[in-house]
Amino acid sequence: MLSSPDPVPRPLDHLAELAVAEGYGEGRALVLRDRTLNHNQLRQRVGQMAMWLLDMLPEPGARVASWAAKGELSCLLPLAAARAGLVHVPINPLLKRAQVAHILADSDASLLIGTGSRLSSLEPGDLPAGCGALGEGEALRMADRFGALGPSCIDPSALAAILYTSGSTGKPKGVMLSHANMWLGAVSVAQYLGLADDDVTLAVLPLSFDYGQNQLLSTWYAGGCVVPLDFLFPKDVAKACAKHGVTTLAAVPPLWVQLTEIDWPEEARAPLRRLTNSGGALTVDLVRKLRAMFPQARLFPMYGLTEAFRSTYLAPELVDSHPTSMGKAIPFAEILVVNEAGDVAADNEEGELVHCGPLVAQGYWQDPKRTAERFRPAPSASAYGGTAVWSGDRVRRDADGLLYFAGRRDAMIKSAGNRISPQEIEDTAIATGLAAEAVALGVADARLGQAVHLVVRGDAAGREDLPRLLQRELPNFMQPQHIHWRDAMPLNPNGKIDRAALQAQLNKEFGE
């Protein structure tokens, strides 16, 4: 177990070397369906993949995208691409071809590696000019023929990954993460969770998310083992916990709801040491259920945003007494609450959460306008200075320094742990030709956090066809739970659609 966090960032690929250097080379590192890699083998495999990638893409900083299920390729590519001096662009496996085509074009990817079924869903023109595509099986076989590339000497400030995340308007935007961002994120989480070389992390979250990817990086930093799992049913998670002696389980609130509704055998519960949550706040009721079901496990509620990875966590010993708190800053993060006057807010005064320090990302890929809106100079009170992320989230800080969430400024929908752009749903609905106007809104839902509702003005003849077309064009997590047809939209005094009025109507009728 780490005694204190190491503040000196290193190239990200050096994570493949740590356990070996510490004498844990024979310990389990990655449990795949057909075999298990120890840390020596993990190190060798990362080196081989890096050498192959360097042969494929010799230009430093070229983007290599992955669109695959959890397996050897998706787990090792973050380190292998970093070692080869490339930039990894992980794509959520749940996305449909239209979203994938946007990400590939926006990132100007030079190579896409994915499962055969996903690659076959792409249409002519979806791959940018000069972008190749390879099945993951073929990529792994090609890497087998190469020797291992040694640890890199890359500047930790260099770009390592672009993670695409939805905003309240428009298509997904790419958050640029440096080697230092990801290295220090791994160190920070490993430290405050108390991870050790005998820990086993069940990776159930998508590896295209910063929260999901950090499951790998923080565990390997501590010399532990990762078990990637793509599951169909909540009971599959409990079975995997029992089979592999899982000690660390991370999830988002909707998944925790499902996991508390199934029976957990003692052999699945007993090894668990810690439970972590992000992607939305836990309700008081859900906290109590988790504490009752897993009394021996420490519960870590956490808050984060892709633009700065992770901001706060609530110490487990405070969960029972302060179940609604976001906690305090994680290691390497400085969190300020700034009021409307631009000053640090007083105790219990609401303000904007501003994240300062070395976990702050480098901005949005090729999008200086949106970068300037979110990444701005740190407040004068900041000890770090430099650039800060102005989150748009409204919070308050009590006299003990604990933070509490108050609300968001923008129109983002957060459903099942996913950040969803209303405009992306609206644009897709209008593009079908069946909707003259469309408004997507999030309505409180006990299981999802927020359910997607779509209000549409259009020809009634399209009522049967619109759901089918949305199913074809949007990933499952973006699908509206309800479509409401209107003869006319309410307008505000400026003649624009009155989104607030629609939100109030839906909240009254459907809100939890």
Nearest to 338 by CA among 392, 298, 293, 299: 392
Amino acid identity for residue 285 in this structure: D
Given a contact cutoff of 8 angstroms between Cβ atoms, the answer to whether 217 and 10 are in contact is: no
Q: Which residues contact 27 (CB under 8 A, 6 or more apart)?
A: 19, 38, 39, 197, 223, 225
What is the Cα–Cα distance from 26 to 39, expressed in whole angstroms? 6
**Tally of CB atoms within 10 A around 420:** 23
What is the tens place of the pLDDT at every residue in 463-492?
Answer: 889 999 999 999 999 999 999 999 888 876
Domain coordinates in residue numbering, the chain: 21-154, 413-510
CATH assignment of 21-154? Answer: 3.40.50.980
Look at residue 3 and tell me whether its pLDDT is greater than 50: no
Given a contact cutoff of 8 angstroms between Cβ atoms, the answer to whether 450 and 480 are in contact is: no
What is the tens place of the pLDDT at every residue in 224-267?
Answer: 999 999 998 999 999 999 999 999 999 988 789 889 999 999 99
Can you give the pLDDT at residue 493? Answer: 58
What is the Cα–Cα distance from 116 to 122, expressed in whole angstroms? 10
Task: Name the E strands within 99-183.
Answer: 111-114, 132-135, 159-165, 173-178
Structure tokens at 256: 């925790």
Can you give the pLDDT at residue 491? Answer: 79
Strands 312-313 and 298-303: antiparallel
Look at residue 509 and tell me whether its pLDDT is greater than 80: yes
Higher pLDDT, 223 or 512: 223
- Secondary-structure percent of the chain, ordered helix, strand, coil, rounded to 5: 35, 25, 40
Half-sphere exposure of 77 (CA within 13 A, CB side): 29
Amino acid identity for residue 415 in this structure: S
Cα dist from 99 to 94, 253, 424, whole Å: 10, 25, 10
The position carrying tokens 């055969």 is 116
Burial readout 33-57 (b: 16 or more C-beta within 10 A, e: otherwise): eeeebbbebbbbbbbbbbbbbbebb
What is the tens place of the pLDDT at every residue in 272-292?
Answer: 999 999 987 888 889 999 999
Q: What mean pLDDT is reported for the chain?
A: 93
DSSP string, 379-421: PTT-SS-SEEEEEEEEEEE-TTS-EEEEEESS--EEETTEEE-
Query: Of 74-78, 94-98, 201-205, 376-380, which gets the smallest average pLDDT?
Result: 94-98
What is the tens place of the pLDDT at every residue in 193-212?
Answer: 999 999 999 999 999 999 99
What is the Cα–Cα distance from 81 to 54, expressed in whole angstroms? 8
Given a contact cutoff of 8 angstroms between Cβ atoms, the answer to whether 303 and 320 are in contact is: no
3-state secondary structure 37-97: EEHHHHHHHHHHHHHHHHHHCCCCCCEEEEECCCCHHHHHHHHHHHHCCCEEEECCCCCCH
Can you give the pLDDT at residue 17? Answer: 97
Higher pLDDT, 461 or 174: 174
Cα dist from 232 to 153, 239, 448, whole Å: 41, 12, 17
CATH assignment of 413-510? Answer: 3.30.300.30
What is the tens place of the pLDDT at every residue in 363-376?
Answer: 999 999 999 999 99
Given a contact cutoff of 8 angstroms between Cβ atoms, the answer to whether 375 and 365 are in contact is: no
What is the Cα–Cα distance from 173 to 327, expressed in whole angstroms? 28
Half-sphere exposure of 191 (CA within 13 A, CB side): 15
Nearest to 274 by CA among 313, 239, 306, 309: 313
- H/E stretch holding 376: strand 375-377
Can you give the pLDDT at residue 285? Answer: 84
Given a contact cutoff of 8 angstroms between Cβ atoms, the answer to whether 81 and 87 are in contact is: yes
The position carrying tokens 């459903």 is 415
